Amino acid sequence: MNPGHKYATGNIALPAGIASYSFGLANTDPSTVGAYNSRMLSDPRISVFLFAVAALSGGFAARAADTPRQLIAHRGASGYAPEHTRAAYQLALDQRADYVEQDLAVTRDGVLICLHDDTLERTSNVAEVFPDRFTAAAGRGATVKRWFAIDFTLDEIRRLDTGRWFNAKFAGERIVTWQEAIELVRGKAGLYPELKSPPLYTSRGVDMVTLFVESVKKNGLDRPESLKTTPMIIQSFDEPTVRRVAQELPSVPRILLMESFGSGMTDARLRDIKTFATGIGPAKALLEAQPDVVKRAQASGLTVTAYTFRSSNSGRFPTVRDEMSHYLYTLGIDALFTDNPDQFPRK
Ligand code: G3P
Ligand code: CA
């Protein structure tokens, strides 16, 4: 397993009267670098000197070209096993993922579970087990049946088969709770939880962020010693959620996911994001259209983590490995989400 996002490091000789410092030009260790850098920068002599070094080297976020990129197993090794099952998580570990991703949802009894959709019907046999427990929702020109996780207790959800829909050989897989995912991954790879739909849960009277923050603290996942052995990065498309996590779990890196750049990704907007996030997580197509965002975000001190790379759709590239290589080593992103961890091109 590689450590958290790393940037150029080394030793520099400082002006007379100041002991030499080992330096990390950006978040070398997500658990400690903030305090470390602020300690250094509180000394005006060091601050001035480092500013000069940073200017000469292209900015504080300049990253060594050979810095290891990070592999995030998207919903586990979901190209080969049903997403968010033990099988998918274990395979991601076997394929040496740096992080295993968990999308989070909440049950009726307030338990965080690993589930991508807000509803259960795509990835389980809920329609067979609970045929009458659906919510009728407006679909495209017709009413559709949806089985929201928040309408079921954990005991009920545990009765569902979450593997057979993918392949009969995975029949009998069960939902994985966030707590079970922590216990499965901890010490073997990093955790990469996504707070999927906090506003949905708020509308049902459930504070998903509080449930999550409590679980992180209860497990000690935000402590520096834990982040060193089990790095964790939090993600959400919901900006208010990322801002809140920054307040409530300040030691944990966090990325703002993006389906679009809205009216444009200006340097001013990047600086604003840097006030509450440690990185951005754009859809890969956004970077294909606007590759300059990678370097500008990194120059603002933000990491760039793109989604989602899969062998079933490698776009204009012959293979997903070629596609990942282009984004990692030509565009220069820091990390990516892939369904195919075994295809990740390490250097
Ligand atoms: O979280 C990164 C990526 O997984 C976002 O897309 O829809 O697969 O959660 P989604
Ligand atoms: Ca996700």
DSSP assignments along 82-139, one per residue: -TTSHHHHHHHHHTT-SEEEEEEEE-TTS-EEE-SSSBSSSSS-HHHHSTT--EEEE-
3-state DSSP call for residue 247?
helix
Count of CB atoms situated within 10 Å of the CB of 136: 9
- Amino acid identity of residue 125, one-letter, is N
- Answer yes or no: 74 catalytic: yes
pLDDT confidence band for 12 (50 / 70 / 90): very low
Confidence at residue 139, expressed as pLDDT on a 0 to 100 scale:
83
CA distance 106 to 114: 9
Distances (CA, A) of 30 to 75, 118, 220, 272, 317: 23, 30, 15, 20, 33
Assess whether the C-beta atom of 115 lies below 6 angstroms from ligand 1: no
Assess whether the C-beta atom of 235 lies below 6 angstroms from ligand 1: yes
Active-site residue among 5, 84, 116, 326? 116
Q: Write the pLDDT tens digit of every residue in 280-332.
A: 999 999 999 999 999 999 999 999 999 999 999 999 999 999 999 999 999 99
Distance 193 CA to ligand 2 centre (A): 8
Task: Give the closest residue to 215 by CA, choosing from 238, 242, 241, 183.
Answer: 183
**Residue entry with tokens 């998903």:** 208
Contacts of 141 (CB under 8 A, 6+ apart): none
Q: What is the mean pLDDT of the chain?
A: 86
Distance 18 CA to ligand 1 centre (A): 46
- Amino acid identity of residue 304, one-letter, is V
Distance 137 CA to ligand 2 centre (A): 24
Assess whether the C-beta atom of 257 lies below 6 angstroms from ligand 1: yes
- With the most atoms of ligand 1 within 8 angstroms of its CB, the residue from 308, 313, 339 to mutate is 308
Q: Write the pLDDT tens digit of every residue in 56-93.
A: 333 344 566 778 999 999 999 999 999 999 999 999 99
Assess whether the C-beta atom of 74 lies below 6 angstroms from ligand 1: yes
Q: What structural domains and CATH numbers belong to the chain?
A: 9-57 (no CATH), 70-117+175-343 (3.20.20.190)
CB 248 within 8 A of CB 215: no
